[in-house]
Chain A
């Protein structure tokens, strides 16, 4: 099956710094990538949808200037958390889809755990 990787798997940063998380589709070209956030014992909440070469579409309540998303190629999307604060500590998960097809063809990465101290 299709594989999506994320890097790093775990990161600790100090309050006020920025952190970049990478999401890669390893064996397919991802026309659309999604970024989710999951707090402990809660469900995945979609943050934004990005299409290759276009600006990301952010969900209501998600600050686009704080969570910068770049989808520069068909195999790579990045999420940068700028000026991170402890409340940004969460599990960030990306998913990718090859475009035309059914909803279930959205492949999830293993997640990145961000801890802001």
Chain B
């Protein structure tokens, strides 16, 4: 069983729709939860991070962590064609020197 499971998609939605991306994990020691966006043939860029359980909002993006269910989500409101990319969930146990475990990524396409 993988430590982090993520539906690879692809996911295609019309412009303006609300997008929901999800990951599950098995290691209860994870404390830091991140979402990265990766465009084709580019390095990942950090979108949001959350420490432990709870919600965090940043503009059109909302990250949720439910540690009791070992389930994390990223919501994108008013989706734009420029949001089309691969979204990777990631998590880690401790500090920035700690190993990050990535999900397999979900390919998202926003149709104009």
Contact = CB atoms under 8 A, between A and B. Distances in A.
Interface in A84-117: 91, 93, 97-106, 108-111, 113
9 contacts: A42-B105, A43-B88, A44-B88, A46-B99, A49-B97, A103-B92, A104-B34, A104-B96, A108-B36
Interface range, B side: 20 to 34
A101 B94 CA distance: 10
Contacts of A45: 102
A32 interface: yes
Nearest to A49: B99
Interface in A33-47: 34, 41-46
A111 to B, nearest CB: 5
A1 to B, nearest CB: 9
B46 interface: yes
Contacts of A102: 32, 49, 51, 95-96
B54 interface: no
Contacts of B102: 43-45
Interface string B6-30: 1010000000000000000000000
